[in-house]
Structure 1
């Protein structure tokens, strides 16, 4: 049976201002808890974008990957420490588009890539084409390319970029082509090389850069990439020399910045950081800020929204207690601990990475013990998040928190930080704790969806926070410190400042001035919406990137 989605097909009439045909490439999409093709913030951002594209009736499609084992399923070992599980996923709600293309990978000239379609009516997104190499006729190794999101194998990662980039570009060609090609991060870079050879012009290619972290800006040996088929054809030595930086390396971000008509960073602060990071590379495009955002309809609890619009503090508090109880059922199930819905609950939850400092509170154990044993101002603290499965430093921090919290009745470390748990944590927390070292967090969208649900941000002034935060009015912000200090010193100062905020501002306000606390909560929701809702972001992309 031929699918209606084997040509550029929208089940709606695109809105006039969003009629330009856009193909959006991303290695991961956080669309729904059940569709496990995401790892964290990049995917959550892309998922919200696809939802807003649908709500605004934009003429856009998503191009992604169908990961057979997802990222990983986070479980526990016998001693409660983190366990990495890889479990096969099958999605009967996806439809075969009938489209299949071939890409050259290494010495294999014809690896088949098939596109499965996520139709808009399933989860409320623009049409999404998810690519798989688990196709009859492919050899065993080729079939495994789309097994694991961010595979640890060097060659597999290169192959994944080629499949998403060149395979995805060929699928878009088969659909009738797009007017704009948008790469969300550099993973799909081969698309730009392939499209350029097909006559697609520079003014049809745009790029979003996300992270200042080295690991997020891939750099690989250009000669080797050439042999692997990264560029869609074999480049001559003079052609290759035009692409390389840093002594024969190809930097994915630099190449994308050079090939794009215009690029965007994901917050105003990140735009400054990015411009400074890449200023020494000639030929890069202009980098403008388009701050990340999240989809209100998907993330905000409906009763919280109702209470906020009516400024009904009684309804808000009633609903918050209900949401806390729902979260605490998860805590009880996972850790056998009974949390109290009337106690201030602090949540730190996001990808576990060293610079995000999950254990910042534990840097002063004496003050930490006082905090968690304060009978006048009791607290409960929950940590959750997924380290990269081979980031053993981050896993060690996770496990340290597990061991430290085991016998503490008001501390919990949860596993399975995916969309559903993320939603429960944001709805059920009073404080959303965000502790990255300044300039290291490009945007950080978890605090946006927390604020939508009345969880007050306590944060270092990084990423999106400088655009949102009004200290003491809608959030609590760490004093700015010298980001050039050694990390040890930064962490020590930020730890002291965090305790001062909690002990002298947050706890007394929450317990002694409930009306003031409610005002901060409602101010937070006022200020996060609609400015940090993804409908604003999706419009801004059409107005400033695709114009």
Structure 2
């Protein structure tokens, strides 16, 4: 074990001096650091970049996943293959700090690595691993795979992140005034802090804040209470003490509910999600207040500077020329992966994000006759790209991905790409004219991919969910699928409704404007770029966390 007083690595702005420890299972800071799966990581990465840019006194605590989330490859027929490859990062610093925590009555060794701020221009980040020779093989695997499917392994991961992260901060001498849970995964840090302050609940409450990202109760994790207890999840609290502290005496321990009862303040990640979260959790007693801080993305990392330069100068010809150049660049990757030669002159629709059922990757295929009419329209041609990573244990999502691959073989203007990480995400946003986002309302907490698409000259075509109600002005900066009365109709009816209006928008508004009134199209693009820069850059979000949650 090695420890020292923690010297914060850069001067801090006066408005942001409160010491914050930001816990997250995933951080998407750079393509080269593969410790993320999707939106939660993208959000955390942008937050860390803005904390650095604003000189905030914030350190990140995460996990060093040996195999990342997974590498998305292809079988011989181009369907999805899940690959697990060891990742090596020479730019991470070995802190020399090793220590143990108790998991299932056994000592598990943890080592801390450090990502210095100047490597990727992000706030300081500590990453924990159990992949050490001192551990038995089972303990080593705790830090192997992000979101491991085994329940006991998953709980052990949360304990390493939470209890291990809390203990690391103590060893560093980093006296955190705020412990920020980015989702409830790191909740065990709350019980570590509770023990640190001699079970003083008010001392814990003063320091703990919680960001929830899941807008439906069923999506919030629950695990067997007795298993949590046996594994040491509660940092030595007895079952009665853990039940009393959390107010949970069910057989299933609800992580988000416990976080809401232990924290001083919580937030949803969009205005709409804040309202949904208050309604969802309002029937429970003793929860903290739930506000909202709308997610955002780091403008300087994501935005294309040349596009913005042309837009700011009102140079439509240069704007259109730059967008075509970006599309050509994207289509080199499309050709390389799929053998399809896309044209920069053709309107290109991209659907790319995590493959989850409610996000409806296949909504555009719901009426195959209308889809055929769109895809074979020679007067208003289109190109479609799908990309995204299904959870490797979700066979339904994998089957949907593979069905899209098989579909793409029938059409020269349809492609399905693999490897949806930061680099491909940015490339697809640069290549998109329409960024298609069609989750079932109200199941999207935020959905930030459309923000970075707008930063690269793509127009959002979306259902009215997540961050979209705060951004979209139909026909002014994007296109909106009219909202169904989702509270009084079934899922099939909602899907039929949304698909019908998706086709209508494409046929009646999007395609005619793109091909016949391109000057009008560019007007929407410029407005979209201006609106997203003004309100959805992560510097705004990082400030609001200090103003609304930390202070």
The two structures share one fold, judged by TM-score above 0.5: yes
Q: 2:140 aligns with which of 143, 151, 166?
A: 143
Look up the match of 2:494.
490
Secondary structure of the residue aligned to 2:246 is: coil
Instruction: Provide the secondary structure at the position in 2 that maps to 1:30.
Output: coil
Partner of 2:511: 507
For 1:102-128, what per-residue CA distance to the aligned partner results, in whole angstroms no more than 9, with x for missing partners?
A: 1110131x2111110000010000110
Change (3 A) 1:215 1:420: farther
TM-score, normalisation: structure 1:
0.97
Mapped contact 1:244–1:250 kept (Cα < 8 A): no
Structure 1 residue 236: Cα displacement: 3.8
Please list every run of at least 4 consecutive aligned residues from structure 1 whose deviation after the TM superposition is greater than 6 angstroms: none
Q: Residue in 2 aligned with 1:387?
A: 390
Distance 2:239 2:453 in 1: 51
304-313 vs 150-159, which deviates more? Answer: 304-313
Summarize deviations over 1:286-312 as a string: whole Å, max 9, x none: 000100000001001121121222222
| 1:407-418 matches, cutoff 5 A | 407-418=410-421
1:124 to 121, 125, 128: 121
1:195 maps to: 193
- Give the corresponding residue for 2:467: 464
**Structure 1 residues 360-439: aligned runs within 5 Å:** 360-439=363-442
User: How do residues 269-308 of structure 1 correspond to structure 2 at under 5 angstroms?
Assistant: 269-308=272-311
Shift of 1:397: 0.8
Give SS of 2:179's match.
strand
For 1:541 and 1:472, the matched residues in 2 are separated by 32
Aligned to 1:83: 81
Change (3 A) 1:239 1:331: closer
Q: Deviations over 1:223-273 (max 9, x none)?
A: 110110001114143543553647322100000011110001000000011
Match of 2:200 in 1: none
Alpha-carbon distance in 2 for matches of 1:331, 1:71: 23
Structure 1: 5+ residue stretches without partners: none
1:173 Cα deviation (Å)? 1.2
Match of 2:154 among 149, 157, 167: 157
Distance 1:374 1:143, change over 3 A: same
CA deviations 1:407-455 (Å, max 9, x no partner) are 3100000000000000000011100000100010000000000011110
* Partner Cα separation in structure 2 for residue 473 and residue 340 of structure 1: 26
What's 2:354 paired with? 351
Question: Secondary structure at the residue paired with 2:96?
Answer: strand
Secondary structure at the residue paired with 1:321? helix
Distance (whole Å) between structure 2 residues aligned to residue 284 and residue 244 of structure 1: 10
Query: What is the TM-score with the length of structure 2 in the denominator?
Result: 0.97
SS in 1 for 2:383: strand
Q: Does the Cα contact within 8 Å between 1:267 and 1:464 map onto a contact in 2?
A: yes
Alpha carbons 1:222, 1:244 under 8 Å: kept: no
Residue equivalent to 1:54: 52
Does 1:309 pair with 2:312?
yes
| CA distance in structure 1 between the aligned counterparts of 2:245 and 2:207, rounded to whole angstroms | 21
Tell me the secondary structure at the aligned position of residue 534 of structure 2.
coil
1:261-272 superposed matches below 5 A: 261-272=264-275
Q: How many angstroms apart in 2 are the aligned matches of 1:219 and 1:287?
A: 20
Query: What 5-or-longer segments of structure 2 have no aligned partner?
Result: 198-202
Report the count of equivalent residues. Answer: 544
How far does residue 138 in structure 1 lie from its aligned partner after superposition?
A: 1.4
Between the aligned partners of 1:468 and 1:196, the Cα distance in structure 2 is: 40
User: What secondary structure, in the 3-state scheme, does the structure 2 residue paired with 1:530 have?
Assistant: helix
In 2, Cα distance between equivalents of 1:241 and 1:192: 14
Report if the CA contact (8 A) 2:181-2:211 is conserved. Answer: yes
Whole-angstrom distance in 2 between the partners of 1:60 and 1:26: 13
- Equivalent of 2:163, from 166, 176, 183? 166
CA–CA distance in 2 between the matches of 1:48 and 1:64? 15
1:22 is aligned to: 20
Partner of 1:201, secondary structure, is: helix
